Every structure is written in C-alpha cells, then in structure tokens.
C-alpha cells in the first residue's frame, strides 16, 4: 500500500496552511486542538494517518503555546502510526538565541531543535533561519528555504534604477551580498551597536548611497527599530529612496507605528507570520506556493534545488 501525503495545521498557521494545501492540491487534514480550562493543549487527528507522510504546518510566532502545540501534534502523529512526520515551520522561533553571547544564557534555538527531534519529527522544513548554521543543531534533515525566491521577482518588477542593497547589520552581509550579486548591484552595510535587545545605541553606514534607490533586506522585523532607523540614516546619507524587504513580520511593540511613521517607501514581508494590522506601508507576499512545492518534493524524494534562485547571476 502506497503512503499518502497529508497536511495538517496548528492554530498558529491555519491561514497559511489552507493556502499551502490548496497549492499542493489536497484538502487540509482535519485535526482538533482541544484546550482544557487551564490552557493545557491536546491535539486530536480526526482521520486516519496510519502509514501516511504527515506534514504539520506551524510557525512558532507568539512562541510558547505554538511550540508546545506542534510538539504534541508530532507525538500524536507518531502514536497514530504515521510513516513519517515532517514539521513545516515557516518561522522558526527562538532562532535569535543561537549562541552564548554572554555568560549564563540559554541557546534557545538548539533546545527547540532537541525538542522537535525528541518528539519524533523526521524532518524540518523552514525558511530564513536567523543564522543558517542552526541547521547544524539538528540530527535530522532540514530543508532551509530562502525568501529570495519570493523577493527577487518582486524586486525585478520594480525596475529600480541605481539599485543598491543594504544590510541592516554586519550579520546580514552574506545574505545581501548574494542578492546584490544576482542583480550586479552595489551593497552597503548599516553597522549597529546595541546596548540591549531591541535598543540601538548607534549606527553608521559603510558605503556610498548618494542618489541610489536602496533596498534593505532582513530576516526578522520585530519592533521595526533597526530597519526604520537604518532607512532614516540612508536617506540622511543621500539615498533617493529606501524600501525594506523582511521575511518574518514579528511586529511587536510599536512596530506598526514605527513603520508607518518612517521614511520607508514600503515594508514588504512574507506571510510566515500573520500580519495583524493593515497599514499603508506594509505589503504581504505569500510563501504558500514555495512551501507547497517543497512539501511535494520532500514527499516524492525530489531535490529542492530548483527553489533557490538567488545564486543565479542575472545577465545585464
């Protein structure tokens, strides 16, 4: 008997899982997430998954409950005799805790990897980890998708002249360099220094942006402080326009206010996390088709290399 691919969703990513299932060409599986009065979670699959390859779509935004829900869904699928259980995590929370950068702190991204493996996940499909080396925290395969497959076509249709790409910090330089190379464009770096999390003490621009149309690219927009301050500094240094492209719209604190009141032309984000408030400057691009293709290729044991376009140099 040949196994089937079945896609289920946790409560945190229902909106996206429905679109992924539609692009995949199969109905979204039926699962009930029951909650006890004290908040305890109990997932129940409402259909047989014995011998099937089960894909569980759940981003870990508002992380605690969603992570626990995903772990329990993995365990339930295992106990229901699924052939394989694959965690589809468009946004992998706790990825910013990827090292001991000060004494006596946790490495949250490693802990989450351990929990997913211990729960019984056979594979993880995710997008734009805060640090690509987090893949090394797993002892199971990780398919690490790249938002450049979404953003590059969008940038191309803008037809911007004097295009320059900007990294909002030194850590993003490699990602931005690859995209700049694709467009044969220049790049600059906004070097920042933090006093503490979510608070920037100082920032300088490394490179010339005079009369350039600048595209800032980052993986996470939390409060919007880094991107909006970078945009303001780039305009002060002579940039003609600045727009930001960001994969994961965490948008906490005063993020919406910061973005709307900034000099940014627009903030383009993916729907890995639901955008809770509609404002003029925020535009959402869907990752549903990209994940649907990745899920199909994983199920059919095909390569996902075709989903990566950022390393293909564009001819002028």
Please report where in the chains the tokens 């993916």 appear, as a residue: 270
Contact 281, 264 (CB under 8 A): yes
Q: Using CB atoms within 10 A of its CB, is residue 190 exposed (0-12), middle (13-18) or buried (19+)?
A: buried
User: 104-109 contacts: CB < 8 A, separation 24 or more?
Assistant: 109/134, 109/137
Identify whether 192 is a catalytic site residue: yes
Q: Select from 17, 65, 59 the least CA-distant residue to 43.
A: 65
Q: How far is CA 237 from the centre of its chain?
A: 30
Contact 58, 28 (CB under 8 A): no
Both tokens of 34, joined, read 């029951």
Of 19, 192, 195, 229, the active-site residue reads 192
Q: Which residues contact 300 (CB under 8 A, 6 or more apart)?
A: none
Please report where in the chains the tokens 């946004």 appear, as a residue: 91
Contact 78, 120 (CB under 8 A): yes
Cα–Cα separations (whole angstroms), residue 18 to 24, 27, 46, 105, 148: 10, 8, 17, 38, 23
Q: What is the distance between the alpha carbons of residues 275 and 256, in angstroms, rounded to a whole number?
A: 10
Supply the angle between the helices 14-24 and 288-299 in degrees, to the nearest 10. Answer: 60
Active-site residues, by number, are: 192
């Amino acid at each position: 008997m040949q196994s089937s691919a079945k896609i289920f969703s946790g409560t945190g990513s229902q909106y996206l899982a429905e679109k992924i299932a539609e692009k995949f060409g199969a109905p979204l599986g039926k699962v009930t997430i029951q909650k006890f009065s004290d908040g305890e979670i109990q997932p129940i699959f409402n259909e047989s998954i014995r011998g099937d390859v089960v894909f569980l779509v759940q981003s870990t935004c508002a992380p605690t409950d969603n992570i626990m829900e995903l772990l329990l869904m993995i365990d339930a699928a295992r106990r229901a005799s699924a052939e394989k259980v694959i965690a589809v995590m468009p946004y992998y929370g706790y990825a910013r805790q990827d090292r001991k950068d000060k004494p006596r702190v946790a490495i949250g991204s490693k802990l989450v990897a351990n929990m997913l493996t211990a729960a019984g996940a056979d594979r993880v499909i995710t997008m734009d980890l805060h640090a690509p080396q987090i893949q090394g925290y797993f002892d199971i395969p990780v398919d690490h998708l790249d938002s450049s497959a979404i953003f590059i076509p969008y940038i191309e249709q803008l037809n911007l002249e004097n295009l320059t790409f900007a990294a909002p910090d030194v850590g993003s330089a490699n990602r931005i360099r690859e995209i700049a190379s694709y467009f044969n464009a220049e790049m600059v770096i906004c070097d920042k220094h933090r006093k503490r999390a979510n608070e920037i003490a100082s920032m300088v621009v490394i490179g010339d942006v005079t009369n350039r149309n600048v595209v800032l690219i980052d993986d996470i927009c939390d409060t919007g402080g880094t991107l909006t301050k970078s945009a303001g500094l780039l305009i002060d240094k002579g940039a003609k326009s600045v727009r930001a492209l960001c994969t994961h719209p965490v948008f906490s604190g005063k993020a919406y206010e910061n973005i709307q009141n900034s000099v940014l032309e627009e903030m383009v984000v993916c729907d890995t996390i639901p955008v809770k408030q509609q404002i003029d400057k925020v535009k959402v691009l869907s990752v549903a088709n990209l994940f649907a293709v990745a899920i199909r290729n994983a199920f059919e044991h095909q390569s996902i290399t075709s989903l990566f376009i950022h390393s293909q140099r564009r001819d002028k």
